Structure 1
Amino acid sequence: MPSSSLRSSSESESSSQEYLQRLLDSGRPFLRGELEAIDENLPSLVGVLRSVGAGECWHKHGTFLEHLVDIYRILKIWKAQDSVCLCGLFHSAYSNSYVNLAIFDPSTGREVVRSHVGDAAERLIHLFCVVPRQSLIHDDLLFHYTDSELVEHLKQSEVSLAAPATNSNSNNQDQIQEDHSAAPWSWRKKLQTLVPANGITVKHIKTGEDVLVSRRVVAVFLMMTIADFSDQLFGFQDELFDNIDGRLEFKGNNYAALWPGDGKPGLWMNSISRIAAIYTLIVREEAIFVQERKITSATATGDKLDKSRDEDIELVVPPVFDKCTRVLDAKEQLAARDLYWEAVCGMSSSSKREIVDDGRGADDEEATAVLLRSCVERKPFYWGATCGVGSGLFDKSKV
């Protein structure tokens, strides 16, 4: 028994080290500014954005160009498809429902952007810029779920995911329906209502025309929103949107809020963990949908990708929130942020020493380190946000 436990512990440590090494290997070219090592076209693409003024536009905590490269970096480290990463790099090039930068004019610039990034990426970029993203992601999706419902649906979907595979030798639709009745499928009914297999029709933010957004593109925009929020949200937005409870539900519009505010880390982790959970539900629903089509199709067409549904877009699972399966508690997030803030600047040196003093005279640095370690140990998923490293968001439980 001891040897088995020792081996298990050793394997876990080795796995964590390998995970960290892969993460460092992915991030090192960005840290060194070796853009050509990431993609031979990346330096010229960044040059294009710089030449049209992206580096001259202020954006949250830096320039718009820096933000665009940040989003590209996050998506690239998450192993997203090239077209998705390029969408991140140019994601507001035509302006969008949140910002009105309009670096490229949508009526004359699409061919220009297409010549740089290709058809697939430009299509995603244009869609991202013309859909009402706030209502699509928050009003029409996120706000339809409670936290507990998401947790339950994640459990149900994990069970359901294995069910179609048991019928891989069956062409009987009745058999599939029977199996569905024996498994917890309520999560699918709700998701299919909110995001049908054929996509969602929304209104173009400028023309009012109908725009069809496939379910996979909705998923891509969810993933991009996770990356986007993690890069740019701070305490200022909490004050701006009256985010007192940490759920980021945009309850207020405090136009008197002044940048940069008090500098506190933002309370956005609960929100994007819920977005990540919905992303996982879509990924699992898509896997089941495609598998069912293969089972019920009497021809070879069932095995082909349906490009009208954007099935050529691979839905990777970002390595965050335990592979997008953990819904973080808003109150825990708030407690972690306050504990960090207290350790950094809210508690006197003497008070810190009193907390950790064991009679040998702990100094200020040691006391602060103890408080920060306590924050990490008690709230492992939150420490990256509280320390201001959202752009490198990953599963802290692995390192």
Structure 2
Amino acid sequence: MPSSSPLSVQPPPQNDQHHLQTVLDSARPFLRGDLESIDEKLPSLVAVLRSVGAGECWHKHGSFLDHLVDTYRILKLWKAQDSVCLCGLFHSAYSNSYVNLAIFDPSTGRDVVAKLVGEAAERLIHLFCVVPRQSLIHDDLLFHYSETELLEHLKFSEISVRNAKERGVFDGEEGWRKKLNCVLPSDGVVVKHIKNGEDVKVSRRLVAVFLMMTMADFSDQIFGFQDALFENYNGRLEFKGNNVAGGLWPGDGKPGLWMNSISRMGALYSLIVREEEIFVEERKRACGDHDHDHDHDQRDDEDLELVIPPVFENCTKILDAGDQIVARDLYWEAVCDVSKRGLERTEELLLRCVEKNPFVGEPHVVLGQVYLGKMMFEEAEREAEKGLRLILEWGSPWDKRMSWEGWVAWARVLVMKAKEKSWPQTAWGILNLGLVK
């Protein structure tokens, strides 16, 4: 067993153009439906899911099959390891604490699924389906931290990791570490199986993986419909409401108010990763290169990689709940009332929107089109590229009235036209757009 555990390593700084090309290259197989180049088994796995009816099952933003494939795509673009991505592809296939979607019988179908995805991925899938995820992620973890506390702990934890790696300083009494070990001990937690009530041991790394998977899961499926259903008017996604009569699907299509919640999940995930980095460094210094000396000290699931999603500036920022609401409403006013407001007012609304919420791409893309209409080509290129990069990094759309693929294609059209310094001046010219290079 290696002397250090798989952990995320932050990529070196890249210029914007190079980074944009890199994320586009990663996304292109998904855009072209070239699933075999992503994983040679992927086409057959999707076919199996389709054959057992996943495409017939309703899911919040379409079909269950669409959601499973989308979740896989997000995790793959976030560089998660294969077993985690495959867990995303089958993540509710036995049903779970959120949804009734048992397309495989957990009492008879586990061997079938294991033969499809491998035992490591099937174990993750099964655990994901039997743990009480709402209480584990929200009640037992997320709701124990205020936003101020999370931000302070992110700052202190960065210093702690640097001190550990550069100076060999390991202070387990630091406030942020004591708090984290209080809510999520280093040896994991025990939860109750949602169906039979038996104890289920969940390692810390597995909790972290499920936290990241929940970020991907929520980003793909939550839009305004759920806000109405749970009366999420403060934007904190606390699931306190119960507006069954008013939560009419699909609602008005507004972007959902989920970003504050998963930005907090991302911050908490970063704290777990940093604590694990310190643990690995401390053990490495104590044991040197002699792996056998610390075999007895191995913890569960150390082969699970903890990669940092690229969203919210690599999970180091939290979007204020109020800013999230203001930004969403500014965007909605801009895109829905442009004929009444005019381009100048629309530009103003979108600029205020991206100031309040700089973490989503669609407002930048729309702003890019506004600038193209005003023949402001440099500004259009800047905004369209920024929007394209963000949408590619998310792997899912924020404005779910259009697909992720549609937003990527449109943003690329805008970038191309901005570089060409041309934009149609007729309605037929707009309809003629489509080719991207």
Q: TM-score range by the shorter chain?
A: 0.7 to 0.9
SS at match of 1:86: helix
- For residue 4 of structure 1, what is the aligned residue in structure 2? none
Deviation at 1:166, TM superposition (A): 4.0
Say whether 1:208 aligns with 2:197. yes
Equivalent position amino acid for 1:134 in 2: Q
Deviation at 1:303, TM superposition (A): 6.2
Moved over 6 A (4+): 385-388
- For residue 331 of structure 1, what is the aligned residue in structure 2? 322
Pick aligned residue for 2:176 from 187, 201, 224:
187
* Gap change, CA 1:94 and 1:180, over 3 Å in 2: closer
Aligned-partner Cα distance in 2 for 1:304–1:291: 15
- For residue 241 of structure 2, what is the aligned residue in structure 1? 252
Pick aligned residue for 1:218 from 198, 207, 215:
207
Pick aligned residue for 1:319 from 286, 310, 320:
310
Kept in 2: contact 1:269–1:328 (CA 8 A): yes
- For residue 289 of structure 1, what is the aligned residue in structure 2? 279
- For residue 107 of structure 2, what is the aligned residue in structure 1? 107
- For residue 25 of structure 1, what is the aligned residue in structure 2? 25
Equivalent position amino acid for 1:292 in 2: E
Pick aligned residue for 2:268 from 264, 271, 278:
278
SS at match of 2:190: strand
Equivalent position amino acid for 1:70 in 2: D
Kept in 1: contact 2:55–2:63 (CA 8 A): yes
Aligned-partner Cα distance in 2 for 1:151–1:251: 25
**TM-score normalised according to structure 2 size:** 0.77
Aligned-partner Cα distance in 2 for 1:280–1:271: 14
Aligned-CA RMSD value: 2.5
Aligned-partner Cα distance in 1 for 2:71–2:202: 21
Deviation at 1:370, TM superposition (A): 5.3
* Gap change, CA 1:209 and 1:186, over 3 Å in 2: same
Equivalent position amino acid for 1:329 in 2: D
* Gap change, CA 1:378 and 1:244, over 3 Å in 2: closer
- For residue 221 of structure 2, what is the aligned residue in structure 1? 232
Aligned-partner Cα distance in 2 for 1:213–1:144: 19
Equivalent position amino acid for 1:57 in 2: C
Equivalent position amino acid for 2:301 in 1: D
SS at match of 2:15: helix
Deviation at 1:44, TM superposition (A): 0.6
Aligned-partner Cα distance in 2 for 1:343–1:230: 22
- For residue 350 of structure 2, what is the aligned residue in structure 1? 372
SS at match of 2:107: coil
Equivalent position amino acid for 2:65 in 1: L
Provide, for residues 234-264 of structure 1, a one-character-per-residue CA deviation record: whole Å limited to 9, x for no partner.
Answer: 1111111111111111121111111111221
Deviation at 1:101, TM superposition (A): 1.1
**TM-score normalised according to structure 1 size:** 0.84
Q: Give identity over the alignment, percent.
A: 67
Deviation at 1:82, TM superposition (A): 0.3
Aligned-partner Cα distance in 1 for 2:281–2:88: 29
Deviation at 1:352, TM superposition (A): 3.3
Kept in 1: contact 2:87–2:124 (CA 8 A): yes
Deviation at 1:378, TM superposition (A): 4.8
Aligned-partner Cα distance in 2 for 1:271–1:202: 22
Aligned-partner Cα distance in 2 for 1:120–1:374: 46
- Unpaired runs of at least 5, structure 1: 1-10, 169-175, 357-366
Aligned-partner Cα distance in 1 for 2:202–2:285: 26
* Gap change, CA 1:277 and 1:76, over 3 Å in 2: same
Aligned-partner Cα distance in 2 for 1:348–1:72: 36
Kept in 1: contact 2:165–2:281 (CA 8 A): yes
Deviation at 1:217, TM superposition (A): 0.5
Say whether 1:43 aligns with 2:49. no
Say whether 1:153 aligns with 2:153. yes
Aligned-partner Cα distance in 1 for 2:396–2:199: 36
Aligned-partner Cα distance in 2 for 1:340–1:51: 40
- For residue 332 of structure 2, what is the aligned residue in structure 1? 341
Aligned residues: 360
Aligned-partner Cα distance in 2 for 1:217–1:76: 18
Deviation at 1:131, TM superposition (A): 0.2
Say whether 1:144 aligns with 2:134. no
Deviation at 1:162, TM superposition (A): 1.7
Provide, for residues 166-191 of structure 1, a one-character-per-residue CA deviation record: whole Å limited to 9, x for no partner.
Answer: 455xxxxxxx56x556xxx2010010
Equivalent position amino acid for 1:101 in 2: L
